[in-house]
Chain A
Amino acid sequence: MNTNPTTTVMENDDDVAAPVLLSPLALTWRKFKRHRIAYISLYVVGLIYLMAIFGEFLTTSDIHKTSTRRAFAPPMGIHLFAPNEDGSSRFQLHAKGLKLEIDKVAMRRVFAEDEEKIIPLGFFVKGYEYKVLGLFSSNTHFFGPVNPRDTVFLMGADRLGRDIMSRIIIGTRVSMSIGLVGVIVSLFIGVTLGGISGFFGGWVDNLIQRLIEFIRSIPTIPLWMGLAAAIPLSWPPLKTYFVVTLIVSMIGWTSLAREVRGKFLSLRYEDFIIAARLDGLSNMEVIRKHMVPSFSSHIIASLTLAVPLMILAETSLSFLGVGLQPPVVSWGTLLKEAQNVRTIIEAPWLLIAPATMIVVAVLALNFLGDGLRDAADPHAH
């Protein structure tokens, strides 16, 4: 018996790396990474959520601290070199203080930079006291004035002299979480109703489809306005928050339900589903073990695309004054400050700063969702 040649070949084969077997998840990830903008957006979205979690650490001043003398203070620039007394200059991050001047022509007060007054800025400075994640307290801030008694307005101040940048950072928490909570609610309704509709078919399907058509055919804003206006002003902020979330999640679920239904319909007669059923699995088991895993990636992609819609919905309602109410800080309530043209002309930063934040967040979420959808679809070209 001559078995030697075979063995030698096998031994040689061991030197060559075996072909890597990639799981579907790893394949999706690889495809996703090729979508450049989506990949960058993933980091942007991650940063925004980090900002939402560790908001106070990043703020430069307390968001409720008012100062009438600093009402509508313009954004301050950050300067790098401060002059010494002898005329030379040294490296010192600082902002210039503000002084009030009267504009004789327009007869109103304007702010001017005070060359004399220097507000030194630094990293990891001491400021107001806050709680990290609601657990332990700290007073260290990432960036801000070295002297805790100074205030610096990097993006200007509102009509009560509160720092816009700090308010935007804190507002991230409410605005971004409404998107997430709303998406979870619509996920629940959408998957349940869409699943029932697609799995059972018949008159149940017909009924649910008519309901979805009904919801989609009426203009949403007047309806939301009606619902949101019904929230009593005396309610505690948390309760209002949840009701507003429920209201805005009423849009998301219809498209999700349609998608789930479509998937159920197309999967219903696939061989592996019939096989599973013939093996005696109950309806619930077939759905949970075989159907849901096969389209969960699609669901995740459409959920990501639903988040920005809800953020925009909350912003619109709060802007109109029927959604969240101050003192709750969200991007929508911040924009409410910039409701008329006169204010915007006096203080453009009231509009521009929150608006930029909203556009960046919504764009990043949209790109992320697009990338996920492309990556999850094995038939995409």
Chain B
Amino acid sequence: MMGFCLRRILYMIPTLFLVSIVTFVIIQLPPGDYLDSLAADMGESGSDNTAVIETLRQQYGLGQPMYVQYYKWMKGILLYGNFGISFEKNVLVTDLIWDRLGWTFGISILTLLFIWITALPIGIYSAVRKYSFGDYTATFFGFIGLAVPNFLLALLMMYISFKYFGQSVGGLVSPEYIGEPWTYAKFIDLLKHIWMPIVVVGTSGAAALIRIMRANLLDELYRPYVATARAKGMSEFQLLMKYPVRVALNPFISTIGWILPSLVSGEIIVAVVMNLPTTGPLLLRALLVQDMYLAGSLILIVSLLTVIGTLISDLLLAWIDPRIRYQ
């Protein structure tokens, strides 16, 4: 087990290195940089700012070759935890991103829990009562869940809740609580809002997982060992939970690996639609105005945390299922 952990963690290092390079290349791709657009804006107001722009360019090292910029950026991050500066807002990137990243991952993890809580019982029910009305309903909603993109679902739910329930939509708390200290009332208000992004982001994942669970369980349900246990007089429910479900659960855990990246992706796009105070809107804005260190840091940290999450799920799986360790 120790060897497996060590090997997996060692594998992660080149991955992280690759992530940082890809991120940096992406934020460097657009022609020109933030200072060009700033200069264009200043030029419109009529003043000559070549000297100012030049000083700024020196300061940020924007004129240097790419690998030098990359080296400087990485050095700042690794040695001082300094992710650079946000050009547009003129503050350190670190001051902007942490609570937004916290919300993004908080919502993603809550969504994961939501997916498990819904997919597990529905998947078991669908398999045990195969071709029943409930099974067809679950399958139907499963397909719809896969076919409706996240952001569309978000728009639809916002429309419905506004039109038929008159609820204020968007954001994580009602406008009157924004910037207020945390109280019990604010927490309740948060709960009233946060379920919507969780359901929206989780639907497609839950749909996929229900189908996986159903297929896995169906493979197990008609095995001889089940018949044996039944012949020996075990109660149906106990039998189901103790043997076939446990075996079918295995691929369930391994799916965290691919579900986490898609949840984070989904959260980002839904956040833009629902105007949540998470990474999504900040990243979109930063990309559009070429605020490169802000955008780069967001992509880098989001990818990094996802890779770590995947690693944790892999280790968990190896701990639960010994076969994986010896592959």
Residues of chain A having any CB pair with chain B under 8 Å = 210, 213-214, 216-223, 225-227, 229-230, 232, 308, 312, 315-316, 319-322, 335, 338-339, 341, 344-345, 348, 351, 355, 358-359, 362-363, 366-367
Contacts and interface: CB of A to CB of B under 8 A. Distances in A.
Interface string B10-33: 010011001100110011011100
Interface of B: 11, 14-15, 18-19, 22-23, 26-27, 29-31, 143-144, 146-152, 155-156, 158-159, 162-163, 169-170, 257-258, 261-262, 264-266, 268-269, 272-273, 279, 283-284, 287-288, 295, 298-299, 302-303, 306-307, 310
Nearest to B311: A217
A308 B162 CA distance: 30
B306 A341 contact: no
Contacts of A344: 155, 158-159
A338 B258 contact: no
Q: Which of A214, A219, A220, A359 gathers the greatest number of chain B CB atoms within 10 Å?
A: A219
Most buried by B among A223, A345, A358, A359: A223
Contacts of B15: 210, 213-214, 217
B318 to A, nearest CB: 15
Contacts of B295: 226, 229
B26 A230 contact: yes
Contacts of B29: 226-227, 230
A222 B30 contact: no
Contact of A341 (B143, B158, B302): B158
A217 B298 contact: no
A170 B151 CA distance: 22
B283 A225 contact: yes
A359 B146 CA distance: 9
B156 A351 contact: yes
B26 A223 contact: yes
Contacts of A221: 264-266, 268-269
Nearest to A354: B152
In order of increasing CB-CB distance, the 6 nearest A-B pairs are A230-B29, A221-B265, A229-B287, A226-B26, A219-B264, A362-B147
Contacts of A362: 146-147
B31 A232 contact: yes
B303 A222 contact: yes
Contact of B152 (A225, A335, A345, A348): A335
Given A220-B265, A221-B265, A366 B283 contact: no
Given A227-B26, A322-B287, A218 B261 contact: yes
22 contacts: A214-B18, A217-B261, A217-B306, A218-B303, A218-B306, A220-B262, A220-B265, A222-B268, A222-B283, A225-B287, A229-B288, A316-B149, A321-B284, A321-B288, A322-B288, A335-B152, A339-B273, A341-B169, A341-B170, A351-B155, A355-B152, A366-B146
Contact of B147 (A214, A226, A320, A359): A359
Contacts of A222: 264-265, 268, 279, 283, 298-299, 302-303
Contacts of B23: 226
A339 B148 CA distance: 16
A216 B269 contact: no
Contact of B287 (A226, A319, A358): A226
A39 to B, nearest CB: 16
A345 B279 CA distance: 27
Nearest to B299: A222
Given A219-B306, A222-B283, 4 more contacts: A216-B261, A222-B299, A226-B26, A320-B272
Contacts of B27: 226
A309 to B, nearest CB: 10
A320 to B, nearest CB: 6
Contacts of B261: 216-220
Contacts of A319: 151
Contacts of B162: 341, 345
Contact of A218 (B19, B30, B266): B19
A194 to B, nearest CB: 18
Contacts of B158: 341, 344
Nearest to A360: B147
Contact of B163 (A216, A230, A322, A345): A345
Contact of A216 (B26, B152, B258, B272): B258
